[in-house]
């Protein structure tokens, strides 16, 4: 459980860093994301999930 909390905390730091460092750029990116078709966002999310699973697999290997 301790390791899981560390991983969640690290994910939150990594996710929050662009918003802290480049807030004006993040607003621009969010507007672009809102204009993207749902299918494109779904594919992008799927690729990110597969990459994450692969990274976890490689880390545990």
Distance CA 25, CA 52 (A): 25
Q: Could you read off the pLDDT of 36-46 as tens digits, one per residue?
A: 999 999 999 99
Helix/strand/coil (H/E/C) assignment for every residue in 3-31: HHHHHHHHHHHHHHHHHHHCHHHHHHHHH
Residue 10 has pLDDT above 90, yes or no: yes
Does residue 60 register a pLDDT over 90?
no
pTM (2 d.p.): 0.71
């Amino acid at each position: 459980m301790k390791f899981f909390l560390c991983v969640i905390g690290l994910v939150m730091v990594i996710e929050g860093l662009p918003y802290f460092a480049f807030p004006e750029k993040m607003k621009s990116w969010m507007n672009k994301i809102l204009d993207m078709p749902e299918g494109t966002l779904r594919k992008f999310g799927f690729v990110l999930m597969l990459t994450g699973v692969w990274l976890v697999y490689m880390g545990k290997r």
